[in-house]
Homo-oligomer: A and B are copies of this chain.
């Protein structure tokens, strides 16, 4: 029988810190660029269109010696049953022996790696001295995006919060965000005084809920969109020179958050070209002929490795389209397994 580590939702929250997750996601982007990792075809099944579906994403990471899969189900009516609509489960295997090594709840990992992804886009594409950040979307993902962004961008002073549906949600997030950041992302580093103090300083910015998106876009140097939107919210003429936009929300065909015309004059980078053009923010821009696949300047891993150039000038508008790849989940799952071992937490079962 095999010893398999089980990391459930609660344990994973104790296990992972955003700083390390950002490092892991950067690492996995470069592994992908170096072809030391690969994703296998995705399985997708709709049990009932618009009501329930599931997908299985899988792949391997040569350097980390693991392979595995994440199964995510979405049951839109689960709320009625007091269950979360989105449920994720990850299985990790040792690539040297094929032995199962970990079973993990995927929800928190997905939140963490998605937050990291949006921030990494800004880290490598935004103007370094950017002081203003606009968060579009105030749902589950917003605190993850904000925490990661404040960790990688050192000059942010002002964070604007915009909700496309309900201004009250933005107001509420404005009230709670400092506590949320403390509880979800800072407290993890309590025992590491140096990191804790440095991050606390980074998180000490002003937050403001905003009602006028046009105005907020014009004033912001970095923008992250993380909504389930299916129509453009941010129009091209609003975007100031020098802005960076990380598009996080679009992860299936038909989703769109920003005016596709923004792509015509922006420098566009993605996490995975194939996914971006099929299910990412880039999909509509390509389908409508605003840009062609060849206009995508490259994948983020190439950028991190320095194989391609990102921003050329302070005035460039840059876009990072992240659809989320299974390798991020695997890499962060491996990080969680390693950290859990180190900390001696998590249950071990015999399979």
Task: Given A89-B91, A349-B8, check contact A78 B58 (CB 8 Å).
Answer: no
Encode A319-349 as 1/0 by CB contact (under 8 A) with B. Answer: 0000000000000000000000000000101
- Whether B1 contacts A10 by the Cβ 8 Å rule is yes
In the assembled complex, A100 has its CB within 8 A of some CB on chain B? yes
A58 partner, pick from B40, B43, B89, beta carbons under 8 A = B43
In the assembled complex, A75 has its CB within 8 A of some CB on chain B? yes
- Whether B56 contacts A89 by the Cβ 8 Å rule is no
Encode A16-36 as 1/0 by CB contact (under 8 A) with B. Answer: 000000000000000000000
In the assembled complex, A231 has its CB within 8 A of some CB on chain B? no
- Whether B40 contacts A43 by the Cβ 8 Å rule is yes
Task: Given A1-B105, A347-B349, check contact A93 B54 (CB 8 Å).
Answer: yes
Chain B binder among A66-74, A146-154, A187-195, A300-308:
A66-74
Which residues of chain B come closer than 8 Å to A350, judged between CB atoms?
Answer: 8, 10
Task: Given A91-B91, A351-B103, check contact A60 B45 (CB 8 Å).
Answer: yes
In the assembled complex, A98 has its CB within 8 A of some CB on chain B? yes
Q: Nearest Cβ in chain B — how far from A289, in angstroms? A: 31
In the assembled complex, A83 has its CB within 8 A of some CB on chain B? yes
Which residues of chain B come closer than 8 Å to A52, judged between CB atoms?
Answer: 98
In the assembled complex, A197 has its CB within 8 A of some CB on chain B? no
- Whether A351 contacts B6 by the Cβ 8 Å rule is yes
CA distance A26 to B74 in the complex (A): 31
Which residues of chain B come closer than 8 Å to A105, judged between CB atoms?
Answer: 1, 351
Q: Nearest Cβ in chain B — how far from A294, in angstroms? A: 29
- Whether A87 contacts B78 by the Cβ 8 Å rule is no
CA distance A83 to B351 in the complex (A): 13
In the assembled complex, A81 has its CB within 8 A of some CB on chain B? yes
- Whether A54 contacts B98 by the Cβ 8 Å rule is yes
In the assembled complex, A297 has its CB within 8 A of some CB on chain B? no
Q: Nearest Cβ in chain B — how far from A37, in angstroms? A: 12
Which residues of chain B come closer than 8 Å to A43, judged between CB atoms?
Answer: 40-41, 43, 56, 58
- Whether A98 contacts B75 by the Cβ 8 Å rule is yes
Closest residue of B by beta carbon distance from A38:
B45
Q: Nearest Cβ in chain B — how far from A165, in angstroms? A: 25
Binding site for B on A (CB under 8 A): 1-2, 6, 8-10, 40-41, 43, 45, 47, 52, 54, 56, 58, 60, 67, 69, 71, 73-75, 78, 81, 83, 87, 89, 91, 93, 95, 97-100, 103, 105, 347, 349-351
List 28 contacting pairs A-B, 8 Å CB cutoff, sorted by A: A1-B9, A1-B10, A8-B350, A8-B351, A9-B351, A40-B43, A41-B41, A41-B43, A43-B56, A45-B60, A52-B98, A54-B67, A56-B56, A71-B91, A71-B93, A73-B98, A73-B99, A75-B98, A78-B97, A81-B97, A83-B99, A87-B98, A89-B91, A89-B93, A89-B351, A103-B103, A103-B351, A349-B349
- 7 smallest CB-CB distances across A and B, nearest first, come from A73-B98, A75-B98, A40-B43, A8-B351, A89-B100, A87-B98, A105-B351
